[in-house]
Amino acid sequence: MKIAVSGKGGVGKSTITALIIQVLKEKGRKVLAIDADPSPHLARLLGFPEADEIRPIAEMTELLQERSQRNGPFYKLNPGVDDLPEKFMRRRDGINLMVVGSIQQGGAGCACADNAVLRSLLNALLLSPDEDIVLDMEAGVEHLGRGTIASVDHLLVVVQPYRGSLETARKIQRLAGDLGLSHLDLVANQVHGQEDIDYIVENLGMEPVGIFPVSPKVKKAERKGIPVGDVSGDLREAARNMLTALGKKDEQD
C-alpha cells in the first residue's frame, strides 16, 4: 500500500502519518516512511534518535547541483538518484526513513533543477515493491501541481473542522481530479463529535475514511519527546480502523 498524506499546514498531517506508520509496523509490515515536508519532523514523531540532526536532502545544495548537472539555466531532467537511498536511509525498529524535504525557493534559477532531483528520488522510492510506503507531503497543493504523487494508491487529505482547512482540501480535490487521481479520501482530525463530521461532509461532499478525535496525549507526547504512537492508544485505534477501511476499498477495485 502506498499512501500520501496531504492537507493544510497545522492540521496534523505529520501526526496522522506517524500513526499510520506505527500501525503498519505493529502489523509486521515493512514500512518506508518518506518525509517530503519543507519543515520535516516525522523522524522525531517516530522516535528516531538525534532526529533534529537529520539533514533533509533538499538542503544538500552541492549534492543537488551535482546530480542535476546544473549549468546556468540548463540541467538534467532525469538525474541519477539510485544510490541515494542507501546513503541517506535511516532505520529504526523495522521502519526505513528518508528525509527528503522540499525546495521552497531557489536563487539563480536553481529551484527547478533541484526539484528535478527530488522528483526523481521520490519516484524511485515509490517504485519499491517490497514495502508499504507512507509519504508525508508538504502543506497545501504545490506537490499536486507538480504531479509528484500520481503513482500512490491513496491520497489522504487531512482536514480539521474549520474553514481554512476545508478551503485547502477543496483545492486538493480539484487538482487531484485534474491529475486523474481517483483514490482521494478525507481524514478528519481533532474531531469533537458528530457536528464536526457533519460540517466536513457538508462542505466537501465526502465522508471521512478516518476520524481522529481530539486527544491531549499528542501535546503531551510532543512536549516530552515521546513517539506519538507510543502514548495515543485511542488514536492508534483510529488509524487501525482507517487502514482497514482503505484495505476494503482496495479489495473492491
**Mean pLDDT of the region 173-182:** 86
**Mean pLDDT of the region 92-103:** 90
Question: What is the number of other CB atoms lying within 10 angstroms of the CB of residue 204?
Answer: 17
What is the per-residue pLDDT for 14? 93
Least confident among 55-59, 74-78, 165-169, 175-179: 74-78
- For 6, what's the count of Cα atoms within 13 Å in the CB-facing half-sphere? 26
CA distance 56 to 53: 9
Structure confidence by residue, pLDDT tens digits, 27-52: 999 999 999 988 888 999 999 988 88
**Percent of the chain scoring above 90 in pLDDT:** 51
Please state the domain extents for the chain: 2-252
Cα–Cα nearest to 93, from 53, 149, 144, 43: 43
**Mean pLDDT of the region 172-196:** 91
Specify the higher pLDDT residue, 79 or 59. Answer: 59
What is the per-residue pLDDT for 156? 96
Least confident among 152-166, 174-188, 219-233, 238-252: 219-233
CA distance 36 to 118: 9
Indicate the pLDDT class of residue 106, thresholds 50, 70 and 90: very low
**Mean pLDDT of the region 184-192:** 96
Indicate the pLDDT class of residue 108, thresholds 50, 70 and 90: very low
What is the per-residue pLDDT for 77? 67
What is the per-residue pLDDT for 109? 47
Q: Is the pLDDT of residue 107 over 60?
A: no
* Distance, first Cα to last Cα, the chain: 13
CA distance 142 to 145: 5
Beta bridge partner(s), residue 99: 35
What is the per-residue pLDDT for 98? 95
What is the per-residue pLDDT for 187? 98
The set of long-range contacts for 172-175, using a CB threshold of 8 Å and a minimum separation of 24, is: 172/6, 172/7, 172/141, 172/144, 173/204, 175/141, 175/144, 175/145
Q: Is the pLDDT of residue 161 over 50?
A: yes
CA distance 110 to 117: 11
**Mean pLDDT of the region 158-182:** 91
Q: Is the pTM of this model over 0.85?
A: yes
Q: Return the CATH number of the domain spanning residue range 2-252.
A: 3.40.50.300
**Percent of the chain scoring above 70 in pLDDT:** 92
